[in-house]
Structure 1
Amino acid sequence: MDILIRSLVIFLFLWLVVRVGGKREVAQLTAFDMILLITVGDLVSQGIVQEDYSLTTAVIAVATFAVAGLALGSLAQRFPGFRPWLAGRARIVVRDGEPLLDVLRGERMTIQDVHEAARRQGIRRLSDIELCVLETDGSFSFFTDEAHDEGGRGAQGDHRLT
């Protein structure tokens, strides 16, 4: 029973760390971050099993993490009001070609992050973006202004992304 409780405590702690870390942070893990994450996993396992390296202990710890993850997913599905708290919510970061700097700051992002993602989508000018949404998984969704797509210039002018 001790392993079950420790596993739940560690699961909740790691879930909180990922939520506080931010959407883009999780989506942009580098090789070093992955190595660090694996190392942290090993350190966490030591805290869970307290030097009990039996197969039973490992199965209980992994099963506890799996069940806790399923329980959170079920909670989000059954009670939609919890969904934003558990999984986050999509945020609009650019509207009508104008970056929402306070939202970007709140998500611990810079306008350069948006520029980079826009260039990957073939968007040359910030003014071409009608709406840019930071999704819950850390990816961007871009909706471009139809008039700009057809070669027209909007009131925002020609702001090339650099």
Structure 2
Amino acid sequence: MWNDLMNLGVSVPDKILRTVAVYVVLAILIRLAGKRDLAQLNAFDLVVMLLLSNVVQNAIIGPDNSLLGGLIGAVVLLGVNAAVVRAVRRSDRAARLLEGSTTTLASEGRWDLRALRREGLRQADVDAAVRRQNAASIADVQRVTIEPGGAIVATLRPDLAPATKADLAALEAKLDRLLARQQG
């Protein structure tokens, strides 16, 4: 039993190389697939992600079904991911290369249909995201973007944006000046 748990079916360098190679290829494929996959998984995306993990399992473990082999693969995956996350955090260039950049989907109340197609997004899905951010329609937004992580961000037109504390303080100061003039 102990032998089955600890006897590797492949060498440690082979295990590390397999794990790193699968990580790199999957990261590239997900990057090429676009930001939409990261924004919200629909039922089809979820099925693909579940099947993808099963498809690449043998590429990582090879003929090795040992506990030790699985733990080595897990440690390598976590280590490579931690290194990538740190590189992205330290370097804007690495972040753009590995994560992409912000894409404008609509500006001044008008859709950029080319950008929607390029990102694989349906206008109806982005419309729903815009409504969740307090805009009645695309006409209410100054800009809609999809961030590298897949979040859709709608910036309301200035005349429709909620008042900030600074706006209220400025209004209060203006009212105080008006009252002071009327009383004085």
TM-score bracket for the superposition, by shorter chain length? 0.7 to 0.9
Query: Rg bigger for which structure?
Result: 2
Find the counterpart in structure 1 of residue 121 from structure 2. Answer: 109
1:45 corresponds to which letter in structure 2?
A: Q
Find the counterpart in structure 1 of residue 28 from structure 2. Answer: 16
Alpha-carbon offset, residue 109 of structure 1: 1.8
Q: Secondary structure at the match of 1:44?
A: helix
Q: How much identity, in percent, do the aligned residues show?
A: 25
Alpha-carbon offset, residue 35 of structure 1: 4.3
Q: Secondary structure at the match of 2:159?
A: helix
Coordinate RMSD, CA, aligned: 2.0
Find the counterpart in structure 2 of residue 157 from structure 1. Answer: none
Does the 8 A contact of 1:92 with 1:132 survive in 2?
Answer: yes
Does the 8 A contact of 2:102 with 2:145 survive in 1?
Answer: yes
Q: Secondary structure at the match of 1:85?
A: helix
List structure 1 runs of 4+ shifted beyond 6 angstroms: none
1:61 aligned to which of 69, 73, 77: 73
Does the 8 A contact of 1:131 with 1:144 survive in 2?
Answer: yes
* Consecutive unaligned residues in structure 2, runs of 5 or more: 1-12, 163-184
2:91 aligned to which of 79, 90, 97: 79
Count of residues in Structure 1 that have an aligned counterpart in Structure 2: 150
- Normalised to the residue count of structure 2, the TM-score between the two structures is 0.73
Alpha-carbon offset, residue 140 of structure 1: 1.2
Q: Which moved more, 1:35-44 or 1:67-76?
A: 35-44
Find the counterpart in structure 1 of residue 18 from structure 2. Answer: 6
Find the counterpart in structure 2 of residue 155 from structure 1. Answer: none
Are 1:143 and 2:126 counterparts?
Answer: no
Alpha-carbon offset, residue 32 of structure 1: 5.2
1:40 aligned to which of 41, 52, 76: 52
2:75 corresponds to which letter in structure 1?
A: A
Find the counterpart in structure 1 of residue 140 from structure 2. Answer: 128
